[in-house]
Amino acid sequence: MSGYFAAMSSAEVLAELAERDPNLVLLSQDFGTIGSFSARFPERHFDLGITEQNLVGVAAGMAHAGKLPFVLAMAPFVSMRGFEQIRDDCAYNRNNVKIIAPFAGLEAGPWGATHHAQEDIALIRTIPGITLLSPADPNESHRAVRAAATIDGPVYIRLGFLNPIDGYDVPFQVGEAVNMRQGTDVTIIATGGCVNTALMAHETLKGAGISAAVLNMHTLKPLDRAAVERAARATGRIVTVEEHSIVGGLGGAVAEVIAELGVGRLTRVGIRDVFCTEVEPYPELLRIHGLDAAGIDAAVRAAVGQS
């Protein structure tokens, strides 16, 4: 499911929350009608057009005046254009703004690198006091939206392309990674849609006699340092997987933890500090940049010395 549709289906969750909370408002960026929210709460849905910086500032003002604003805006634009407003107006001024950011990662495929959000994790996680969520499938995105509504402070929810993970339905605990698969040779720590891909790699690796644990790091800030430490101590080798630059994202965050621990060895799977300029549909772009199941499989084999 496209992150856009995940966002639209999350709007149904918002509509349900809005039913109970008269202060919940939805501010969007030129997305037109947002699910059933717009029809059910026309007076609480505001389209700010193509003004990402203004959009986030307006949301901060609404939060300041007691509203609970959810912002719906494209990840590449709201995270970069809106960065200073997220930092200053939302976090520094301690305003309760929730940003739902679809099109995270490479989902925009052949539209060109302007539309790829490959640095939003790196940017957002530098902001003190913000919560950064990156759910792994559509249902988890709904749970993340519900969790965001209960957090006192700004939240950024990163939504890439998300396929449903069969049978995955565990409570969403902010800051607690989810053990998706047990394993003894290596731990794959993935976030967003890459969790599902890592689960596929888990199966092919199993066929090759490699036991790979899979951890869903759905909260990137605050990072579950304890889960990283457990993985480093249990399997030694860690492979991070993210639809994001290897600079400063999940891989960077995990690197910081294990470097300070002095335990574990890390391989980062992600966009290798390049712009993804190939004119290719999204799945092919993932394959080229090593983010499909085969790419993860190969990276894990290399990490455990079986390539």
Partner 1 sequence: MSDPANIAALKARAATLRRHILAPASTYFAHLGGAMSCADIMAALHFHFLRFGDADHRPDHFLMSKGHAVTALHACLVELGHVDAAELPLSGQSGSRLAGHPTKRAPLVEFATGSLGHALSVGIGIAMAEQLDQSDARTVVLLGDGELQEGTVWEAALSAPRFGLEHLVAIVDYNRFQAGGSVDAVMPLEPLADKWRSFRWNVTEIDGHDMQAIVSVLDSLPAANGPTAIIAHTVKGKGVPGVEGTGRAHYTMLTDDEIKRSLAGLEGVE
Considering only residues 54-73, where is the footprint of partner 1 by CB under 8 A?
Answer: 54-67, 69
Closest CB 91 distance from partner 1, rounded Å: 11
Q: Tokens at residue 253, please? A: 């965050």
Q: Kindly state the number of chain residues that form the binding site for partner 1, as judged by CB under 8 A.
A: 30
- 38 contributes a contact to partner 1 by CB under 8 A: no
Task: Single out the residue of 222, 236, 141, 135 nearest to residue 184, CA to CA.
Answer: 236
- 43 contributes a contact to partner 1 by CB under 8 A: yes
Spatial strand order of the sheet with 265-271 comes to: 178-181, 212-216, 186-190, 237-245, 265-271
- 51 contributes a contact to partner 1 by CB under 8 A: yes
Beta carbon nearer to partner 1, 69 or 76: 69
- 200 vs 91, 105, 163, 244, 293, CA distance in Å? 37, 19, 12, 19, 6
Closest CB 108 distance from partner 1, rounded Å: 23
Considering only residues 88-127, where is the footprint of partner 1 by CB under 8 A?
Answer: 88-89, 92-94
Among 19, 21, 49, 170, which residue sits at the site for partner 1 (rule: CB under 8 A)? 49
Q: Is the peptide bond before 22 cis (omega within 30 degrees of 0)?
A: no
Closest CB 5 distance from partner 1, rounded Å: 27
Residue 137, judged by CB atoms within 10 A of its CB (0-12, 13-18, 19+), counts as buried
Task: Single out the residue of 127, 126, 121 nearest to residue 90, CA to CA.
Answer: 127
Q: Which residues make beta-bridge pairs with 219?
A: 133
Closest CB 57 distance from partner 1, rounded Å: 3
Beta carbon nearer to partner 1, 49 or 283: 49
Contacts with partner 1 by CB under 8 A lie at 25, 43-44, 46, 48-49, 51, 53-67, 69, 84-85, 88-89, 92-94
